[in-house]
Amino acid sequence: MLWTIIGILVLLWILGMVFEVVAGGLIHVLLVIAVIVFVFNIITGRNKR
């Protein structure tokens, strides 16, 4: 699920840079949040049961 969200945000970010979409600033913020969550997930690791 997390990989899907990150993939969509990266795609929207690239499209925003290419086509200069008005909502590019919001997409940049969402991408930064997704990267922070991704790094936090890698550092803490997943709970294996």
pLDDT in tens, 22-39: 666 776 777 788 788 888
Whole-number percent of the chain with pLDDT over 90:
0
Structural domains of the chain, count: 1
Q: Kindly state whether residue 34 falls inside one of the protein's structural domains.
A: yes
**Which pLDDT band holds residue 49 (cuts at 50, 70, 90)?**
low
Answer whether residue 11 is part of any domain.
Answer: yes
Q: What percent of the chain has pLDDT over 70?
A: 76
Count each helix (H run) and each strand (E run) in the chain, helices first: 2, 0
In which domain, by residue range, is 18 found?
A: 2-43
Domain assignment present for 48: no
The reply to whether 22 falls in a domain is: yes
Q: What residue type is assigned to position 21 of the chain?
A: V
Q: Is the pTM of this model over 0.75?
A: no
32 is a domain residue: yes
Q: State residue 27's pLDDT score.
A: 67
For residue 41, give the nearest of 9, 10, 2 by alpha carbon: 2
* 6 domain-assigned: yes
What is the number of other CB atoms lying within 10 angstroms of the CB of residue 8? 12
**Closest residue by Cα to residue 34 from 1, 48, 2, 18:** 2
Q: How far apart are CA 14 and CA 19, in angstroms?
A: 9
Q: Is residue 49 part of a domain?
A: no
The predicted structure's pLDDT at residue 13:
73
Residue 24 within any structural domain of the chain: yes
